[in-house]
Chain A
Amino acid sequence: MGGKVTCTLGEVKQRADFIVYWGGNPAECHPRHFTKYTLMQKSKFLPRGRKDRTVVLVDIRETKSAKAADHFLQVRPGKDFELLTIMRAMIKGQDVPEAQVAETGISIEVLRDLIEKMKKAKYGVMFFGMGLSMTRGKHMNAAALLTFAAEMNAFTKFVAMPMRGHGNVTGADVIMRWQTGYPFGISLNRGYPRYNPGEFSTVDVLVRGDTDCAFIIGADPGATMPKPAIDHLAKVPTIVLDPHVTHTSRLSRVHITTAPAGIAAPGTGYRMDEVPMPLKPALNSPYPSDEEVVRRIKEVIATKPDWMTNQPQMIESQV
């Protein structure tokens, strides 16, 4: 990560008078984001709530979220990186050729007006969704937006935050960072963590056929991944832990039914802004928790002879 200027959601609720959603559709994907955290809340600093805030939506199509916005910018598909780069140049007063601006689908007048408003804001925030980070340019788009937000601090206060989906994916990120140093895409096969997304990330590993046993928990890649990846999951012994028998369960050798997190299993979940929340299950499940099952599998493995012996305790340098 090249850096990130961010905040917790309560700061947005209290202070953000300029809110940008880029490549996300909170009205349908994070339905309470507007009401609980961002648009509708009143605060000491923004006593009139929604009236004190300016909301901009940037997306390739006019989703339901556009209705909630004061300004909707329809960017051409695949042109997010270009638009972000142009805006980064414009805030610094650099010249941008109008023809290149036009390619993004947004006129230079609209951008000039928007930038003026952004600079006048007291506390700006940019949320970005998978429409930005999972389309052409991927993490480069996210990096461009994060840099844009950081650079806006030369003029006023600005922060940025990803709209994380998928329940507790943030928790996985946070824990892997403190235990291994890295957020995802990790190999432990030398006995210590190494990081290389593209080499160690799951889709690539499966498509290349680089794993000979897959343990899947809290996810259903059998329903979402590209076909060659799914084919490989069916070929090797796959183990699934899930409250339901999923697509992946059906192609696995072992499925274990577990109690759903937060509904019948207690513990902790992280919000998209990395604030940890206690989970309060309402039901007693007839099934064990994920935590218990993984611990038991780990304990069985631990009784077997260690295949990695005669290793030094530490290596001074990895390079």
Chain B
Amino acid sequence: MLRITGGTVYDPANGIDGEVKDLYIADGRFSSKFEAGRTIDATGMVIMPGGVDVHTHVAGGSINFARAMTPEDHRRTHAFIRSKTRRSGIGGMAPTTFATGYLYAGMGWTTVNEAAVPVLSARHTHEELRDIPIVDKSSLVLMANNEIILDLLEEGEDERAKHILAWHIWAAKSYGVKAVNPGGVASWKYGNDAKHLTSKIDGYDHVTPGTIITKFAKMIDELGIPHPLHLHCNNLGAPGNVETTLETMRHLEGSRAHFAHLQYHAYGGDDWGNMRSEAAQLAEYFNAHPNMTTDAGAVLFGDTVTITADGPWQHLLYKLTGRKWGNLDVENETGCGIVPYTYRPSNLVNAIQWAVGLELLLLINDPWRVFLSTDHPNGACFWRYPEIIQLLMCADYRNECMANLPPNIKNKISLPEINREYTLYEIATITSAGPSRALGLSHKGDLGIGKDADFVIYHRDHDIARMFGHPRYVFKGGEIVIEEGDIRETPDGREYLVQPSYDPEIDKFLRPLFEDRYCMSFENYPVEMERIERSQIQDCITPESEG
């Protein structure tokens, strides 16, 4: 048993905003009483629930492809030295699995959601997730370009499509569904894209990106998946794409939806020269529609490597930058693209992107619906989150940074007019309580009795980035994992799954279609349950549980 005394607690899930309060921990959870055991005096310190990353890329084929493409970064960046009980690792743009766990836990994050898994490489993803120590994990399976499902939607066989969707979620042992550039990735297989909701998709006459999005959101709601449709909109990164994003949001009225890395979808103008921020317009619509959540996908200046299932966008980025290009098309399902990238403050487009991420975080007024993310490693590496927290909490610091932007950015962004500063309570919401709720992980991001004792104790510090980058203690499941920057323990995390129900007869329907498209055996395709270390199946939402 453990007792934490005297700390100032920020626990948005319970409406606790900076109260001095003792916490008791027993068997990995918060407890109402304390009988005996260690007491930690946290007087003068800040206590928050452990961070939860709703959208990151840390395990599986695409990040591992990025690792292969960036040895020049591995050999200059931070390196973790092995000890008798701890594996070595490399940090940087695409950290190794062990380093990923150390770096997340090192800044107080205790749960991460891997946001893009092709079913075909789900077995690989789970192997990597198992090698990420300390944090708990979940993963989302890529489905919105699955040709078998698109064929069924084309034929109006929506009910059958839903069963097949549920079958795939369980086959991949995933936690929910990610849709990336719906229809666009399918078109990319022949070198094309689908930029708008009414675009023609290669090989289809009726189905459009708009139909895919609405039908997927509906199917996911009907299946009761705890996390809603996790959507990477069409037309990512392009000037003027705010129209596509708003149109997508209008399509999803009445459904639950999570918009991934909204920063990349909030641009006005019609070419790179006149591109501008449309974060204000997007935030206004978003604020009025409580069915949606989003993560920022914020950008920080510096080197990174971009990885996404959005193959056509990556081909464009390769053409724009002339840097290395990796692409992987995955049969029937999806694909991915990799391009190393450097965001420069002197580059007008990059400067706008930097501002847009912050604008969205500052202009969306409900911290329960907008979450901290960089779409790691796309906008910046996750281990730079403390820098973003500083930008959100200190308007003066923001203004200082803005002084480095090109002068012609004037009138293209609204950041200079925003004075809002985040409070610690709001930071605890966007980094932990909010994403936990959006993921449907009710035992996370909450310091209440019976909840998982994943929490962080910070020294108060006027240097916000230092405060969040160097916690005094990090607790995972009630155990001290980080103390003053030292890694104390590296326990294995859990993996969360869902098991939506589907008609068991769907196997018979699916098998011949599968054998036609794939080149592995149908029986060998689903990931075996015994391969998932410390799995925990979360309940789906039933009409009763909602009522």
Contact = CB atoms under 8 A, between A and B. Distances in A.
Given A3-B69, A316-B78, A159 B516 contact: no
Interface residues of B, number: 65
Contacts of A159: 327, 329
A257 interface: no
B88 A5 contact: no
B189 A157 contact: yes
Contacts of A270: 124
Interface string B72-104: 001111111111100111110011111000100
A8 B96 contact: no
B128 interface: yes
Interface stretch (B25-33, B402-410, B518-526): B518-526
Contact of B121 (A3, A9, A276): A276
B456 interface: no
Contacts of A122: 190
B75 A8 contact: no
A145 B74 CA distance: 25
Interface in A281-319: 302, 306, 308, 311-319
Contact of B329 (A8, A156, A192): A8
A177 B64 contact: yes
A6 B337 CA distance: 10
A194 B81 CA distance: 11
Interface stretch (A36-44, A90-98, A240-248): A36-44
B88 A276 contact: no
Contact of B96 (A4, A37, A181, A313): A181
B77 A10 contact: no
A314 B80 contact: yes
A182 interface: yes
Contacts of B77: 317-318
A174 B79 contact: no
Contacts of A2: 324
A9 B332 CA distance: 11
Interface string A154-165: 101101000000
Contact of B189 (A15, A182, A193): A15
A258 B225 CA distance: 45
Given A181-B67, A183-B68, A276 B124 contact: yes
B331 interface: yes
Contacts of B59: 178
Given A178-B131, A192-B80, A317-B77, A5 B325 contact: yes
B130 to A, nearest CB: 10
A278 interface: yes
Contact of A311 (B75, B83, B191): B83
Given A276-B121, A317-B78, A179 B131 contact: yes
B332 A10 contact: yes
Interface residues of A, number: 62
Nearest to A13: B519
A2 B68 CA distance: 9
Given A1-B69, A159-B329, A194-B75, A178 B120 contact: no
A182 B191 contact: no
A156 B74 CA distance: 33
B81 A313 contact: yes
B524 A277 contact: yes
A281 B413 CA distance: 61
B328 A275 contact: no
A74 interface: no
Contact of A7 (B76, B96, B324, B331): B331
Given A14-B517, A276-B127, A179 B83 contact: no
B19 interface: no
A192 B79 contact: yes
Given A178-B67, A181-B74, A9 B328 contact: no
Given A314-B78, A318-B79, A11 B124 contact: no
B486 to A, nearest CB: 6
Contacts of B328: 6-8
Interface in B458-497: 485-487
B61 A274 contact: yes
A192 B88 contact: yes
A6 B90 CA distance: 26
A268 B80 contact: no
B123 interface: yes
A179 B120 CA distance: 21
23 contacts: A1-B71, A1-B324, A3-B69, A4-B69, A5-B325, A6-B328, A8-B519, A11-B189, A11-B329, A41-B519, A44-B517, A150-B318, A156-B191, A178-B96, A179-B87, A179-B131, A181-B67, A181-B95, A191-B81, A193-B90, A275-B120, A277-B520, A312-B81
Given A13-B331, A178-B127, A302-B84, 20 more contacts: A4-B68, A7-B328, A8-B331, A10-B520, A15-B190, A36-B519, A43-B516, A44-B516, A159-B327, A181-B71, A181-B96, A192-B80, A193-B74, A275-B120, A278-B524, A306-B84, A313-B81, A313-B487, A316-B78, A318-B76
Top 8 nearest A-B pairs by Cβ distance? A10-B331, A3-B324, A7-B329, A191-B81, A192-B79, A157-B191, A181-B90, A181-B74
Interface of A: 1-11, 13-15, 36-37, 41, 43-45, 122-123, 150, 153-154, 156-157, 159, 174, 177-183, 188, 190-195, 268, 270, 274-278, 302, 306, 308, 311-319
